[in-house]
Amino acid sequence: HMATRIKMILSLAICAVLALVHLPFTTAGGGEGAAPFDYKKALHSSLLYFEAQRSGRLPHNQRVKWRGHSGLADGLQQGVDLVGGYYDAGDNVKFGLPMAFTVTMLSWSAMEFADDIAAAGEWRHVLEAIKWGTDYFVKAHTEPYVLWAEVGDGDTDHYCWQRPEDMTTSRQAYKVDRDNPGSDLVGETAAALAAASMVFRRSNPHYAQVLLHHAEQLFEFGDKYRGKYDSSIGEAYSYYASVSGYGDEMLWAALWLHRATGKASYLDYAVDMADEFGGTTWAITEFSWDVKYAGLQILATKVLLEGKHPEHKATLEKYKAKAEHYLCACLNKNGDAGNVNRTAGGMLFVRQWNNMQYVTNAAFLLTVYSRYLTSAGQEPPVLQCPDGPVHADKLRSLARAQTDYVLGANPAGVSYLVGYGTRFPRRMHHRGASIVSHRGDGRFIGCMQGYGNWFLRRGANPNVVVGAIVGGPDHLDRFRDRRDNYMQTEACTYNTAPMVGIFAHLHGETAITKKS
């Protein structure tokens, strides 16, 4: 009897410990019986983040008050105005490729979820976030076959730890042109401008036309003078190397231009170059600022589902098969063909460094594809996976689960959206956030002074970068909130951009559920 009693006591103790271990997960919100997340607040926060990342002269209606004007002489050495645009992450360099991808995804978010964004009262802020990027791209495209690709360089920038307002690092600007091509960068910028032109078409038709004009010129430039931008600009190679090459960006640009203009020539290009550029041959299980295949394959599938171009049906079916490979991999339904790994806590896991970019992009593509399937009128709307058919609802529920993981429904009980909830990263790897605001202390902080006085501090950052989504946890759902842990605590503009649409969509869904 004594042995039985000891076993019972031990089992009760183990249950109590397990309950404590899982406590953050069950109380984080969004789980069974838990209060749903405040997606409207998440949307509001995500748009503030883009204001925190602004370079240039800040407008009077700037809401993030700890930031100030910066990079006001960008391009001056080369005799071109390159003031504006976005810093990509926690440093002070303006990298063209991730900036353009950020704007493409912001524009796709705005286009797909316009009603939800407007209903949440954030439409104006979305337009402002997109326009801050597109204004810069228009300035950077100084001649038909010239695009300024980068301002500053990662090596000298990373040597210093300074607020952008105090920068003493090199602001050298780098360009691609006929002799030094960069079809990947040029193609992505064309995609961004084409997608954005559709967003501005109703409220600012003249501006939309300007963007489309630049997009078409850039597409021609990228196609006529082919080459990888990181071969032309060595300074970009160590930071944003174009591993996938330029084929994916050129197909992506062609499909966005087809959607924006309705011109058959762009769809013909995507069909004619499908094999050579890998659109119908690459089966990829990630989507990012570098690798666009899954996104462009979904855009091509949308054309197929609409049934408007039967002459291209055979090639579009091949695109669809590759799009479904990506989606089935996320759903863990790919059989032996390869799935995306998941952590014990349920997060899609692609790689250690800034994994959250793959999570947020997957949430976006899953949601968008489920909408395309449903609107195609197919009954029931299903995705055909090697492990069997999957209903469109399952795509949406996985997207929601990934979103909720970001917001706190995870084993650590941490919101990886900075400023959301009570437990979020306080020591983000971000120069401006980690140093006292210039408004609070206007004294100049030198290159190495920032490391000694601010980077090495153990305390929380003095400024909170609301709306930033950090790199996130490892494959065991572990997260260390340290400023020097840049793989996990640095946030990037392209992590948050797709979530603008998803937060708006989930807020709209929650509002409908409440009404019914």
Residue recorded with tokens 């087809």:
258
Sequence ranges of the domains in the chain: 39-514
Helix 39-52 × helix 493-515 angle, to 10°:
160
Domain 39-514 in CATH 1.50.10.10: yes
Q: Which amino acid is at 195?
A: A
Q: CB burial class (10 A; 0-12, 13-18, 19+) of residue 261?
A: middle
Q: How far is CA 150 from the centre of its chain?
A: 19
**Predicted structure pTM score:** 0.93
Contact yes or no for 133/86 (Cβ under 8 A): yes
Q: How many residues does the chain have?
A: 516
> CA 221 to CA 231: how far, in whole Å?
17
> CA 395 to CA 168: how far, in whole Å?
48
Contact yes or no for 409/31 (Cβ under 8 A): yes
> Can you give the pLDDT at residue 35?
54
Beginning with the edge strand found earlier in the chain, give each strand of the sheet holding 94-95 in spatial order: 94-95, 147-151, 173-176
The neighbour count for residue 73, using CB atoms within 10 Å, is 10
> Can you give the pLDDT at residue 5?
36
> CA 16 to CA 146: how far, in whole Å?
65
- How would DSSP label each residue in 80-140? S-----B--SSSS-EEHHHHHHHHHHHHHHHHHTHHHHHHTT-HHHHHHHHHHHHHHHHHH
Provide, for the chain, the percentages of residues in helix, strand and coil under a 3-state DSSP scheme, each rounded to the nearest 5.
55, 5, 40
The residue among 48, 72, 69, 89 whose CA lies nearest residue 431 is 89
Q: What is the largest CA-CA distance in the chain?
A: 89
The helices-and-strands tally (H runs, E runs) of the chain is: 20, 7
**pLDDT tens for the 516 residues of the chain, in order:** 433 333 333 333 333 333 333 323 323 333 333 457 999 999 999 999 999 999 999 999 999 999 999 999 999 999 999 999 999 999 999 999 999 999 999 999 999 999 999 999 999 999 999 999 999 999 999 999 999 999 998 888 888 999 999 998 999 999 999 999 999 999 999 999 999 999 999 999 999 999 999 999 999 999 999 999 999 998 888 899 999 999 999 999 999 999 999 999 999 999 999 999 999 999 999 999 999 999 999 999 999 999 999 999 999 999 999 999 999 999 999 998 899 999 999 999 999 999 999 999 999 999 999 999 999 988 899 999 999 999 999 999 999 999 999 999 999 999 999 999 999 999 999 999 999 998 889 899 998 998 999 999 999 999 999 999 999 999 999 999 999 999 999 999 999 999 999 999 999 998 777 765
> CA 28 to CA 421: how far, in whole Å?
9
Contact yes or no for 170/152 (Cβ under 8 A): yes
**Cis bond before residue 381 (omega within 30° of 0):** no
Catalytic residue among 429, 430, 438, 507: 429
Catalytic residue list contains 429: yes
- How would DSSP label each residue in 213-251? HHHHHHHHHHHHS---HHHH-HHHHHHH--TT-SHHHHH
The neighbour count for residue 31, using CB atoms within 10 Å, is 15
> CA 75 to CA 149: how far, in whole Å?
11
